[in-house]
Amino acid sequence: MSTTTRAWMPAKSRDFRERVLLRSLLRKDAALNGPAWLPLALVLGAVGAVAYADHLVVSISLVYLYILPIAVGAIFLRKRVSYSLIVVCVLFHDYYSPRGINPGLRIFHNLSAMLCFAFVVHVIQRYMQQREALAKTVRQQRDDLLKDVELAAQVQRLFLPSGKPAIAGLEIAGMMHPAQGVSGDYYDYFPIDAHTTQIVIADVAGKGVPAALLMSATAAAMRLEANHDRNMLEQVERLNTGIHSVSDSDRYVTLLVGEIDAQKRTLRYVNCGHNPALLFRAETGTVSLMNSSCPPIGLSPEEICELTLEDLMPGDVLVFYTDGVTEAENRSVEEFGMERLSATVRRGSSLSAEELMAKIYDAAADFCSDEFDDDVTILVVKCKFDGPLTVSS
């Protein structure tokens, strides 16, 4: 070990002991916030200023001025240090008092001051203890709430797909980025048969815990519908009836559900007030919109929708998303918008579904400096058909 190192270690140890000593004089909350020397310097400076004034003025007693450093000390210092400060202040005042005063009167005057100062310290210390207890309770409640939200987020993630559907000719990737721990967005995909898969993306009005609860109900209902018949219009109608019965007029769900048949190379979908999905045509390099055909789920008792059919070709790309993507704002309060999203899809059409999904998210995140105001969900399906087209009779 070098000489410099040996000299440095005792100095560092000494500085550490000094910091520990200073913090041992302060209340716990004061010791944790800011430099330890600052409250001590404030208290000692106030004591010195009042003692100096007490020394200069001999015509009247300035003992009442010591209430200032004592009150400041009661806020920042531990109880035993605060009461010790009373003795110090009274001794200063007694030292600077005129000598001609009767000793009995002098003792009575000092004891009265000590009692008054002790009462002030007691009141302030009691207030600070209650304040610390309240702060501790608030922190505990906040920590418990954060744990509950994290648990809710973990449960919510159970509704999301955990693997890729084994449908030949389709490449699927999805992601969800909550804005507040739990999300009001939902996406899913699950196989119907060996060559057909159903795609779902939904967005609950609002965000946070209320939206997440309604999202969970929507996800559970869609999972239950997966075990019933495959008539999408009837699925949407039953879902609308269920959501409308448990939500008010301010809570509704935008939904886009579709079925992709890799054998027939077709897409059938219903868009219930959701953002128009993008369909990139590899043959022409154009992007078309899969627009809404009916109101969002839960707004009215009845839902009358239209089923739309699209033919798909090898290389075509489907991009489903929620409004957290297109409504992401930069510092100029300008939205990311459909044009930038479409341009990103065109530029990344040759990428895999996973890479294109990441590219879309990164483009929106860069645009808004990664400060999303809403939940962000992206679902990308890439058509990688091979072999001849199969057409059923």
- Full DSSP string of 98-154: -TTS-HHHHHHHHHHHHHHHHHHHHHHHHHHHHHHHHHHHHHHHHHHHHHHHHHHHH
Cα–Cα distance between 194 and 32 in angstroms, integer?
A: 62
Domain ranges of the chain: 3-150, 161-383
Which stretch of 71-75, 123-127, 143-147 has the lowest confidence by average pLDDT? 143-147
Mean per-residue pLDDT for 202-215?
79
The DSSP secondary structure of 40-76, one letter per residue, reads HHHHHHHHHHHHHHHHH--SS--GGGGHHHHHHHHHH
Cα–Cα distance between 49 and 55 in angstroms, integer?
A: 10
Binning pLDDT at 50, 70 and 90, where does residue 39 land?
confident
pLDDT > 70? residue 17: no
pLDDT > 60? residue 274: yes
pLDDT > 70? residue 4: no
Q: Which residues touch 347 (CB under 8 Å, ≥6 apart)?
A: 359
pLDDT > 70? residue 392: no
Mean per-residue pLDDT for 384-389?
72
What rounded mean pLDDT belongs to the chain? 83
- Decide if 43 contacts 69 (C-beta within 8 A): yes
Mean per-residue pLDDT for 367-374?
89
Q: Does domain 161-383 have CATH number 3.40.309.10?
A: no
pLDDT > 70? residue 236: yes
Binning pLDDT at 50, 70 and 90, where does residue 380 land?
very high
Which range is most confident: 75-84, 89-98, 139-148, 335-344? 335-344
> What is the pLDDT, as a whole number, of residue 328?
93
Pull the structure tokens for residue 300.
């009215």
Residue type, 116: C
Binning pLDDT at 50, 70 and 90, where does residue 14 land?
low
Mean per-residue pLDDT for 255-275?
93
pLDDT > 80? residue 211: no
Instruction: Give 38 or 15, the one with higher predicted confidence.
Output: 38
Mean per-residue pLDDT for 112-127?
90
> What is the pLDDT, as a whole number, of residue 215?
83
Task: Return the half-sphere exposure (C-beta side, CA atoms, 13 A cut-off) of residue 143.
Answer: 6
Instruction: Give 278 or 61, the one with higher predicted confidence.
Output: 278
Mean per-residue pLDDT for 336-352?
95
> What is the pLDDT, as a whole number, of residue 74?
87
Mean per-residue pLDDT for 27-33?
67
